[in-house]
Amino acid sequence: MSYPVDVLRAARNLLADGGVVFIGDERTEDEFTAPASEIERLYYGFSVFHCLPVGMVGEDAAGTGTVMRAETVRRYSDEAGFASCEVLPIEHDFWRFYLLRPYGRETGPDDRPVLTTVNVV
């Protein structure tokens, strides 16, 4: 994805009152270590051959590949105008899940987050 902050900003603007954004992304290590784990090496393979080249298309593209650490997702969500970016306590070997909340719209009418689905390829 060449412009992840723009995509997150557009998703934020599509939210109904009380809406949140739910993201599922590859579960990378919290920081780079050498040697990398088997899964991390798999992600780097995806990144080098597909995600990074695609993420570099366009003028001033972000150039973000597959190996996007939680801190990068937090930074992008902050730049897109979200109030918070929470790593959800959902354990999975391959996926990490995030909940992004915009300013001033924390919950829906029944005090539960309203999920808006935006599929991004």
Could you tell me if residue 103 is inside a domain?
yes
Q: What is the pLDDT of residue 108?
A: 47
Domain range for 93 is 4-116
Could you tell me if residue 121 is inside a domain?
no
Could you tell me if residue 94 is inside a domain?
yes
Q: What is the pLDDT of residue 30?
A: 87
pLDDT (tens digit per residue) in 77-117? 999 999 999 999 999 999 999 999 999 755 444 555 555 55
- The reported pTM is 0.81
Q: At 42, give phi and psi (nearest 5°).
A: -60, -45
Q: How many domains does the chain have?
A: 1
Per the prediction, the chain carries an average pLDDT of 87
DSSP string, 26-71: E---SS--SSPPHHHHHHHHHIIIIIHHHHT-STT-----S---HH
Could you tell me if residue 98 is inside a domain?
yes
Measured from the Cβ of residue 40, the count of other Cβ atoms closer than 10 Å reads: 19
Q: What is the pLDDT of residue 43?
A: 87
Sheet with strand 114-116: strands edge to edge: 82-87, 95-102, 19-26, 114-116
Asked which of 30-39, 63-72, 101-110 is least confident by mean pLDDT, the reply is 101-110
